[in-house]
Amino acid sequence: MTVPPAGSPLQLTDEVGDALRDGAPIVALESTILAHGLPRPRNLEVGAAVELQLRRAGVVPATIAVLDGHARIGLTSSELERVAMSPEVAKASVRDLPVVLAAGRDAATTVASTAFLADHAGIRVFATGGLGGVHRDAMESFDESADLQTLGRTPIAVVSAGVKSILDVPATLERLETLGVTVVGYRTDRFPGFYVTDSGEPVDHRVERPSEVAAILAAVDALGIRSAVAVANPLPLDEQLDPELHQRVLDDALTAASDAGLRGKEVTPFLLDHIQRATSGESLEANVRAVSSNVTLAGEIARAWSERLTAR
């Protein structure tokens, strides 16, 4: 275990600490998808697989979680299993971190808290499945993911398959613009819709190579910008969930949630569960494919960023 600076709430594995010291490629990974996003034991299989995927590419994985009240940057295999298999692991966004740290609890980190802690540790690249965003009933509920505000003040490159399609995608893109988050499409002019390749919305900027994202990060630093670069990485057409099936089950799920009178935090897990059951698990497999694809691209960006650091 790498000893952090005095007073730091972070605990880094030696592997992560060495990578940060040497400027080696490193990718942050969230833990909420393991603790709350995928069924057991598939969650542990996916968590171990994406870490192995990065290591085989010469990149250090840094899965982030809170264990015994300590913000852990990088997990051992037994700790990864603990996060994935224990029903006692809470879900912590940025606002929850002080509470779980003070109480000495275990918690999985969301996109927001993972980005926050990764930036705190000095990690510049983060891979996830899909971002949170503005909810469809936000005009009434004011329900908006903390991911957006955090990305608006965290200079990290986050690779995702867009925002979850159960959300209000146009409103989410407007909020990202307002918050100063740079959105680029990776080899696409269309913003992806998580399970589907195209959400129906465009992106203003497009990149073709991981080195271009690294160059954008360097420009972020040169300008003193304190917001994220969101890299939208769509699933290939032949790997997406069938768009007609997706729209049909999404409409059914939204109707069911409304009929049940669900609001706020209850809505997202209900919709995702409904879609998974209605697609006989096809949405789950699309989710896993998106995570794997995003991890691959994030690893390539991390290598490009490392090359820039070592060339200085």
Annotated catalytic residue, options 30, 51, 144, 300: 30
User: Which residues have a Cβ under 8 Å from the Cβ of 158 and sit 6 or more positions away?
Assistant: 111, 115, 126, 127, 128, 131, 151, 228, 229, 230, 231
Annotated catalytic residue, options 51, 144, 164, 300: 164
- Give the distance, in angstroms, between the CA of residue 247 and the centroid of all CA atoms in the same chain: 23
Strands 60-67 and 70-73 come out as antiparallel
Pairwise CA distance, residues 274 & 252, whole Å: 9
Concerning whether 91 is annotated as a catalytic residue, the answer is: no
Q: Which two tokens stand for residue 27?
A: 């990718």
How far CA 289 is from CA of 128, 132, 192, 276, 308, in Å, comes to 11, 18, 14, 14, 29
Q: Which two tokens stand for residue 158?
A: 């986050």
- How many CB atoms are closer than 10 A to CB 2? 16
| Cβ atoms 298, 51 nearer than 8 A | no
Concerning whether 265 is annotated as a catalytic residue, the answer is: no
Query: Annotated catalytic sites, by residue?
Result: 30, 164
